[in-house]
Amino acid sequence: MAEIRKVGVVGLGTMGAGIAQVCVEAGVDTLGREISGELAERARGRIDHFLGRKVEKGQLAQEAKDAAMARLSLTTELADFADCDLVIEAAFEDLTVKHELFRELSAVVRLDAILATNTSALSVTEIAAAAVHPERVVGMHFFNPAPLMALVEIVRAQQTEASVVETAYAFAQRLGKEPIRCNDTPGFVVNRILIPLLNDCVRVLDEAGVTPEDLDKAMRFGAGWPMGPCTLVDLVGLDVHVHASEALWQSLREPRMAAPPRIVGMADAGYLGRKTGRGFYEYEA
């Protein structure tokens, strides 16, 4: 099995920065790419903040944090991924954007490198189709927040070679995660179940005339959820949730998959949850 010594992460938003954090904490040299130096530095600041909190809480030694931060390098150039053994793409959820990236990455990386996508809503098979070697493409779907959530879905596209699935699986384990293998079906495993469930929760808000606070309370204390559904949608991002719902609705046509008008309206208004300071709840900047 190919050894993964250096990882590239394309896109350092919430998911990409979280994935890069997990990699450097696990001792893997990691190169992160953003479209501007400013966005890249913002991601470094975010990783530095979360590792700093671990030091303050006595969960991580200062030297271990410094060593982890030293393993992180940043770039704005895809060409710099030439020596990466694995590149994880966590860019904007748009097939055209991903096709462009996979075409460019294919031209840059070694023939034996693995290209992974963290897509949650698009077909890995369709993304892989743009790569020169689609058999080297696999889904590695992390969950938000990536440093805290143990699951990684290792998604086999139609084209993925079995050895690539196994290398990605073993790498997720090396990151301290709990991977599972699954087919490239809409929503894979968790989102296929969680997205319609969250849509039901939002519908219940109006049907039962309940406040977001009380709905969250209901699911935390009545169903044992670690956080309530409104808090969770705010964390995931209303835009991400609506997009994932749309993708499931497009492929499966089940009414529960479609995002309820209430949440679409909020997303249209720019109330995207934590990242914009307002969703079901308000957050400090």
- Out of 34, 89, 123, 141, which one is annotated catalytic? 141
Question: Residue 77 CB, nearest distance to ligand CAA (Å)?
Answer: 26
Task: State the residues that interact with ligand CAA by CB under 6 A.
Answer: 18, 50, 53, 120, 143-145, 147-149, 191, 194, 226-227, 232, 236, 240, 244
Of 50 and 171, CB closest to ligand CAA = 50
Least separation, in Å, of the C-beta of 209 and ligand CAA?
26
Is-contact 55 62, C-beta < 8 A?
yes
Smaller CB distance to ligand CAA: residue 55 or 132? Answer: 55
Q: How far apart are CA 191 and CA 193, in angstroms?
A: 5
Catalytic position from the list 120, 123, 199, 245 = 120
Residue 144 falls in the annotated catalytic set: no
DSSP structure string for 146-165: TTT--EEEEEEPTT--HHHH
Centroid of chain to Cα 108 = 23
In whole angstroms, how close is the CB of 244 to ligand CAA at the nearest point? 6
Establish whether 241 is a catalytic residue.
no
Phi-psi region of 254 (alpha: psi -120 to 50; beta: other; left: phi over 0): beta
Nearer to ligand CAA, 120 or 125 (CB): 120
Q: Verify whether residue 34 is a known catalytic residue.
A: no
Query: Tokens standing for 120?
Result: 């949650």
Q: 49 catalytic, yes or no?
A: no
**Backbone phi, psi, residue 96, to 5°:** -65, -45
Decide whether 4 or 51 has the Cβ nearer to ligand CAA. Answer: 51
What does DSSP assign to residue 269? Answer: T
The angle subtended at Cα 89 by Cα 87 and Cα 93, nearest 5°, is: 170
Q: Which are the catalytic amino acids? A: 120, 141, 153, 191
